[in-house]
Amino acid sequence: MPVTSEPAELAQGLLLFIVAGILMVLVALLAGALIRRQLHHPVKAEAYECGEPAIGESWVQFDLRLYVVALVFIIFDVEIALFYPWAVVYREAGLAGLWDMLFFFGVLVVGFVYLWRFGYLDWVRSTAGQEPPGGSVAAKREAA
Amino acid sequence: MPPKVPRPDPAAAFIERTLRDWRVIAALGAVLLIAPVPLVWLGWPWIRPLLESQFWFSLILGGLAVFIVIHLDAAFILAERKLSAFIQDRKGPNRVGFWGLLQPVADGIKFLLKEDYTPKQADKPVFILAPALAFVISLAGVAIIPWFDQITWPWTGPDGETYTVVGQMASLDIGLLYLLAFGAMSVYGVVLAGWASNNKYAFYGAMRATAQMLSYEIPLGLGLLAVLLVAGSVRLEGIVESQAASGVWNVFVHPLAFLLVLIAGFAETNRAPFDLAECEQELVAGYHTEYSSMKFALFFLAEYSHMVIGSALVTALFLGGWAPLPFTSWLADNHTWWAGLIKFSVFWGKILLLIGLYMVVRWTLPRFRFDQLMRLAWKGMIPLGMVIVVVQGIATGLGWRIDPAAPWTANLLAGGLMLGINILITLGVLWLMSRSRAPVTGRQDNLPDVIVPPAEARLAR
């Protein structure tokens, strides 16, 4: 196979690719700016919220569940990234490779089961265990 | 007095009439198709040395691939509108040119001429950076797709040497990881756009897109891992060649991994039924609410390019890449220029088929709710992916794999065993699903009883 994977040549190619991409974007953005007409109006610069005046800005603190998703993602993605080299050499490693992988996998599965069991994988956290204000419907129904 | 109807501009009317004539469109298409032929013929003495050197050939090939991707993006927008019109029993775009065929051109001109506004509350540099980043990243995958294996040119050099070039821009040792990395980077375009707009809809859209793309990155990686275990290589061209040599494409022996990667691909590209990031009914346009003109077009192009690259990945890993026919190694060892052309076309044909599937799925299935979406990823696809990887690991350890050198009976046995495992896992999943109760989300306990009166009572009222 005459495939070259010489680092210098690859870097050259990738650099060319990135430069070409940036050029394409610049041309696309600037070509229009030269032709089009801009009619400025203060209303056009407002945030679009369906015609309502925007209250406050959107750079606010937001739901922590997204943070949990990001954390769990990092753990699992690193896991998968570590599996890739293992998968490549697996055939030479033989049975020892399988046991290693199963051990590593087992540790992660324990973490995954923990997340599942304690509800960190639920987007809408169940409130079944909590008593809603005024007592639950089921309790009322029983009382009636 | 009736209002004055403006008299139509005769020149505009003439242009419109001309362009809606099918013969004019056919002639235009023919000219565009034939135009490169005399150019290549005239420039042959200059083109030939370029074709002989791998570096310049890669550049030409990459340029061609990017050219095809961008023009296909424009064509897909029309195709998608036509398909959705067909599904919903409408006509779709049919004003610009014969059968609406010039609609992409009109769209392009409009994108250039529309006003490009940056809202005053936005973070300006990031606001401009986001679409550019999304676009560049979406095209980066083109560099490592193996469009065909190699071509040996029919002419020889002055000393009788032959020239062989490879149909891949960069043959990376970490091919798949590169694609995964750029796939994950596409989150940046979306999240930066949503954040920089400083608009609540855009922000919600970006947050949803982030959570969704991160979640579906994991089943995607697990599905790819199953293929890696079988192929024993992260080089895309190696995976394609092993499929082409035996003729058994991975989709036949690993249908579950294929489904996993395909569904994760739908979610990664933010397309229906996973287009939560830009669902019109809730978030106006999601993360690109504040974008107009060319910046919006860049997002649009990025989405469609992402689809093309994703389909190319699925094609290379599961559908045999450039291999023209399944269950035969036809053309696998043929390195003539016409075989290369056939392989290149076959690769694009498979991509087009997959994108057709994307479009049909988009216009057939309703959108997920966000908690359903996360549940599908974390409680459905990730455990399934783990099971597939472990089972595949054990199967590979036992030596069940397709080997072109082995006798066909052994391959049939190995393939049958792996397909059987997949069917068993599917049955197991279906059994588990039938046993699990309908999932409880939210404060279901506290909902008032909904009493639906019988039909007669409703009619009587």
User: Tokens at residue B147, please?
Assistant: 């469009």
Kindly state the average pLDDT of the residues B358-386.
85
Longest dimension (CA), chain B: 96
Contact between B323 and B317 under an 8 Å Cβ cutoff? The reply is no
Q: Do A21 and B214 touch (CB under 8 A)?
A: no
Q: Do A124 and B128 touch (CB under 8 A)?
A: no
- Judged against a pLDDT cut of 50, whether residue B85 lies above it is answered with yes
Q: Which of residues 27-86 of A touch B (CB under 8 A)?
A: 28-29, 31-33, 35-39, 44-50, 54, 57-59, 62-63, 65-66, 69-70, 73, 76-77, 80-81, 83-84
Lowest-confidence range among A27-31, B129-133, B165-169, B207-211? B165-169
Contact partners, residue A50, CB within 8 Å, separation at least 6: B284
Kindly state the average pLDDT of the residues B169-194.
82
Lowest-confidence range among A104-113, A134-143, B103-112, B420-429? A134-143
- Judged against a pLDDT cut of 60, whether residue A2 lies above it is answered with no
Cα angle A75-A81-A86, degrees, rounded to a multiple of 5:
125
Single out the residue of B184, B25, B200 nearest to residue B104, CA to CA. Answer: B25
User: Cα–Cα distance between A118 and B74 in angstroms, integer?
Assistant: 47
Residue A124: pLDDT band by 50, 70, 90 thresholds?
Answer: low
Contact partners, residue A48, CB within 8 Å, separation at least 6: B119, B199, B201, B284, B289, B290
User: Cα–Cα distance between B330 and B245 in angstroms, integer?
Assistant: 9
Rounded to a whole number, what is the distance in angstroms from the first to the last CA of chain A?
A: 81
User: If you search the block for the tokens 């394609």, which residue do you land on?
Assistant: B240
Q: Do A70 and B214 touch (CB under 8 A)?
A: yes
Give the residue extent of every domain in chain B: 114-435
Quote the pLDDT of residue B451.
66
User: Cα–Cα distance between B24 and A97 in angstroms, integer?
Assistant: 65
Quote the pLDDT of residue A144.
64
- Judged against a pLDDT cut of 50, whether residue B442 lies above it is answered with no
User: Tokens at residue B119, please?
Assistant: 């809202």
User: Amino acid letter at A92?
Assistant: E
Q: Is B196 exposed, middle or buried, given 0-12, 13-18 or 19+ CB atoms closer than 10 A?
A: buried
User: Amino acid letter at B407?
Assistant: P
User: Cα–Cα distance between B316 and B236 in angstroms, integer?
Assistant: 7
Quote the pLDDT of residue B353.
92
**Is B153 in a helix, a strand, or coil?**
strand
Lowest-confidence range among A6-15, B3-12, B320-329? A6-15
**Is B162 in a helix, a strand, or coil?**
strand
Kindly state the average pLDDT of the residues B140-155.
81
pLDDT tens for A65-108 read: 778 888 888 888 888 888 888 888 887 777 788 888 888 888 88
Q: Is A100 on the interface with B (CB under 8 A)?
A: no
User: Cα–Cα distance between B389 and A87 in angstroms, integer?
Assistant: 10
pLDDT tens for B449-459 read: 666 667 777 66
- Mean pLDDT rounded to a whole number for chain B: 82
**Is B152 in a helix, a strand, or coil?**
strand
Kindly state the average pLDDT of the residues B362-366.
85
Cα angle A122-A123-A129, degrees, rounded to a multiple of 5:
55
Q: Contacts of residue B232 in chain A, CB cutoff 8 Å? A: 87-88, 90-91
Quote the pLDDT of residue B107.
86
Single out the residue of B371, B373, B385 nearest to residue B219, CA to CA. Answer: B385
Contact between B421 and B395 under an 8 Å Cβ cutoff? The reply is yes
Distance from CA of A4 to the nearest CA of B (A): 7
Quote the pLDDT of residue B445.
54
Lowest-confidence range among A120-134, B65-79, B372-386? A120-134
- Mean pLDDT rounded to a whole number for chain A: 75
Quote the pLDDT of residue A3.
47
Contact between B140 and B182 under an 8 Å Cβ cutoff? The reply is yes
Kindly state the average pLDDT of the residues B274-297.
79
Give the residue with greater pLDDT, B282 vs B47. B47
**Residue B436: DSSP 8-state:** S
**pTM of the predicted protein model:** 0.82
Kindly state the average pLDDT of the residues B327-349.
83
Contact partners, residue B256, CB within 8 Å, separation at least 6: B384, B388, B422, B425, B426
Lowest-confidence range among B56-60, B104-108, B234-238, B451-455? B451-455
Quote the pLDDT of residue B439.
52
Q: Is B143 on the interface with A (CB under 8 A)?
A: yes
Rounded to a whole number, what is the distance in angstroms from the first to the last CA of chain B?
A: 49
User: Tokens at residue B40, please?
Assistant: 């290549």
pLDDT tens for B20-38 read: 888 888 898 899 888 888 8
- Judged against a pLDDT cut of 60, whether residue B125 lies above it is answered with yes
Pick from B115, B198, B370: CB nearest A38:
B115
Quote the pLDDT of residue B350.
92
User: Tokens at residue B100, please?
Assistant: 């609406």
Kindly state the average pLDDT of the residues B122-141.
85
User: Cα–Cα distance between A87 and B225 in angstroms, integer?
Assistant: 7
Contact between B411 and B246 under an 8 Å Cβ cutoff? The reply is yes
Q: Is A8 on the interface with B (CB under 8 A)?
A: no
User: Cα–Cα distance between B220 and B267 in angstroms, integer?
Assistant: 10
Q: How many CB atoms lie within 10 A of CB B271?
A: 20
With a pLDDT cut of 70, the percent of chain B lying above it is 94
Contact between B318 and B263 under an 8 Å Cβ cutoff? The reply is no
Q: Do B132 and A13 touch (CB under 8 A)?
A: no
Instruction: Respond yes or no on whether the N-terminal peptide bond of residue B6 is cis (omega within 30° of 0).
Output: no
User: Cα–Cα distance between A33 and B115 in angstroms, integer?
Assistant: 9
User: Tokens at residue A1, please?
Assistant: 């196979």
User: If you search the block for the tokens 């009883």, which residue do you land on?
Assistant: B449
pLDDT tens for B223-253 read: 888 888 888 788 888 888 888 887 788 888 8
pLDDT tens for A30-46 read: 887 788 877 888 877 77
Quote the pLDDT of residue B51.
80
User: Cα–Cα distance between B348 and B315 in angstroms, integer?
Assistant: 9
User: Cα–Cα distance between B409 and B415 in angstroms, integer?
Assistant: 10
- Judged against a pLDDT cut of 80, whether residue B194 lies above it is answered with yes
Kindly state the average pLDDT of the residues B342-348.
89
